[in-house]
Amino acid sequence: MTKPLLILIAGPYRSGTDGDPEAIARNLERLEAAAAPLHRLGHVPMIGEWVALPVLRGLDSAEAAHSDVMYDVAARLLQHCDAVLRLPGDSTGADNDVAIARERGLPVYFSIDEVPAG
């Protein structure tokens, strides 16, 4: 078995929701639905919101207003990730994740079927 890849799952989270908490929750569910298939392939799935949301909860409102924790966390995570799985849907953040991955020479997959087994 080859070394498992740490794969960032990127796709819409806040995009297209107009801030509706239920729509945001549905977007997170779509991101999380890709986690088990990546695990079955022998990899470690990662979603930036899993890390960013607790960070946001720990910031006071002034700190949160002056930073974009979601983008910052994803950029930091990509220093450790081996690949990106880009899910469908408009998302500036996910597009930014793809751009960072490509700058780093990381593979970007657009379907779970493209991801090799680990």
**Helix, coil or strand: residue 9:** strand
Which residues make Cβ contacts (< 8 Å) with residue 108, sequence separation at least 6? 83, 84, 86, 98, 101, 102
- Reference 34, options 15, 19, 49, 54; nearest CA is 49
The answer to whether residue 84 is domain-embedded is: yes
Global pTM reads: 0.91
The answer to whether residue 59 is domain-embedded is: yes
The answer to whether residue 1 is domain-embedded is: no
Question: Per residue in 57-88, pLDDT tens?
Answer: 888 777 766 668 888 899 999 999 999 999 99
> Into how many domains does the chain fold?
1
Q: Look up the domain containing 103 and give its range.
A: 6-112
The answer to whether residue 118 is domain-embedded is: no
- Reference 30, options 16, 51, 43; nearest CA is 16
Which residue shows structure tokens 């409102």? 61
CATH of residue 90: 3.40.50
